[in-house]
Structures are given as structure tokens and as C-alpha cells.
Chain A
Amino acid sequence: QVQLVQSGAEVKKPGASVKVSCKASGYTFTSYGISWVRQAPGQGLEWMGWISAYNGNTNYAQKLQGRVTMTTDTSTSTAYMELRSLRSDDTAVYYCAREYSYGYGFYYMDVWGKGTTVTVSS
């Protein structure tokens, strides 16, 4: 079955970096994109960005530009999201999701990982 398996919880100090992985299985990895979404405690969903697993093209949320990098490893069907210069307000559950695209600006997230909790605390 189609699934996305994410790496385990992380605890980081302010100023550090974190890299979350998302391993895909059950489908052709390069036929879809991967979106990253985060959710701070008690808050709503926040779109972080997207990467094409086909060619590596990315589109990041403007507020995270310069701090976030999304990559893929097609040999292992794994996507990665690295966030640098962590702050306390980066504490959140980070989700990866398979993105089905049917035109520019037309896409939805049809399969989600279970989430990775990242805690930023001194």
C-alpha cells in the first residue's frame, strides 16, 4: 500500500538545524511531488513548501526562504526537509505528504506521513 514513513522525534537547541526524512513506498516516487506541512501545538496547518521528486524543483514558503531546504534521494525514494537556525516557534509536528498535481497551481495532498515532532528548547 502507498505510505510515507517519517523519521523519529527530535529535540534541538535554538540555533541548531534539523533534518526530517520521509520514505515513500507503494508507488513510483518520481511521478509525484512531496509537500511539507507543519503544525505548531494547538495551531492550524502551515504549508512549508514543495519539491518535485521528478526533477528536484522546489517552491518554499516565503517566510522560510533561506532557512529551509528540501531534497530527494530517488535511489531510496526518500524526501528530506532541513530547517536551520531553529527558534522556539519552530516547535511543531512536521508532516510530509504526497502531492498529486493536475496543472500549475492545481494540486492536493492525497497521502500523508504520520508526522515528526520537532521540539526546540534550550
Chain B
Amino acid sequence: QSVLTQPPSVSGAPGQRVTISCTGSSSNIGAGYDVHWYQQLPGTAPKLLIYGNSNRPSGVPDRFSGSKSGTSASLAITGLQAEDEADYYCQSYDSSLSGSGVFGTGTKVTVL
């Protein structure tokens, strides 16, 4: 069971803006650890989308943005496109349980 909670699904029409939340606790996001986001297209390996809460790797469109506040983080997709239909996961570090990496529960984005 993941310690980072995401909504199971979000949807939007092409061109719209959608946001995905990632809720943690005082032992992970709330402790100051950074949040990173990954995109997983159907049948493929995850791909790094956002690192260090709000930074985009080279090649990631600026339609994707990330933020963090308190014990939560968010991923926003503006100008939604058909190719954005995928699963999205947040990831951080948790200082409990001898310290470990943790992923969010995952969110399926559907483009209507």
C-alpha cells in the first residue's frame, strides 16, 4: 500500500487544463523531501516528467508543470492533448520504515 495518495482518474477535453494531486504526510512530502512525477504510456516503461517538484527535463513540453505545498504536490497539464492519455505517478522519499522510496497510487488521465 502506497503512502502517497493520488486520485484514480481525471479526465478533460482537448485543450483543457487538468490537475493531479499527490497527498503525503509528515514523514515524506511534509518533511521537505522533493516530489517527482513520471508518465507511463500504455505498455511502456515510466518516463521522468517533472523532477525536484517543478523542474522539467529537456524535451518535456512546458504544458506540464509541478508544484508542492505542505504535505501535498500537484501536477498540472494545460492544453491537454490526445497523446497525454497515460498513467501518472508521483514519487518521493519516506523517512519512516528505515527510509525508502515511495510512489503514489497512480492516476489515469483520459482525454475525452
**Interface residues in chain A, defined as those with a beta carbon under 8 Å from any beta carbon in chain B:** 35, 37, 44-47, 50, 59, 61-62, 95, 97, 100, 102, 105-110, 112-115
Task: Give CA–CA (A62, B99) in the complex, Å.
Answer: 9
- A-B contacts, 7 of them at CB < 8 A, read A37-B46, A46-B103, A95-B45, A105-B99, A108-B36, A109-B36, A109-B91
Residues on B facing A (Cβ under 8 Å): 2, 33-34, 36, 38, 40, 44-48, 51-52, 57, 87, 89, 91, 93, 95, 97-106
Q: Are B48 and A108 closer than 8 Å at their CB atoms? A: yes
Q: Which residues of B contact A115 (CB under 8 A)?
A: 45
Whether A110 contacts B51 by the Cβ 8 Å rule is yes
**CB-nearest residue of chain A relative to B103?**
A45
* Chain B CB within 10 A, most for which of A50, A105, A106: A105
Q: Give the interface centre of B34, B95, B98, B101 by most chain A CB atoms within 10 Å.
A: B101
Is B52 within 8 A of A108, CB to CB?
yes
Partner of A62, one of B38, B48, B100, B106: B100
Residues on the A chain within 8 Å of B105, using CB:
44
Instruction: Please indicate the chain B residues that have their CB under 8 angstroms from the CB of A113 in the complex.
Output: 45
User: Are A106's CB and B34's CB within 8 A?
Assistant: yes
Q: Report yes or no: B103 in contact with A47, Cβ–Cβ below 8 A.
A: yes
Residues of the B chain whose Cβ atoms lie less than 8 Å from the Cβ of A47: 91, 100-103
* Nearest CB of chain A from residue B26's CB, rounded to whole Å: 14
Our pick among B36, B47, B102 for the contact of A112 (Cβ within 8 Å) is: B47
Evaluate contact between B45 and A112: CB separation under 8 angstroms: yes
- State in angstroms the CA–CA spacing of A37 and B100 once bound together: 12
A46 to B105 Cα, complex, angstroms: 9
**How many Å from the CB of A80 to the closest CB on chain B?**
18
**When the two chains form their complex, are residues B103 and A44 in contact, meaning their CB atoms are under 8 A apart?**
yes
B2 touches A107 (CB 8 A): no
Chain A's nearest CB lies how many Å from the CB of B28?
9
Closest 6 CB pairs of A and B: A47-B101, A105-B93, A44-B106, A108-B36, A112-B45, A45-B103
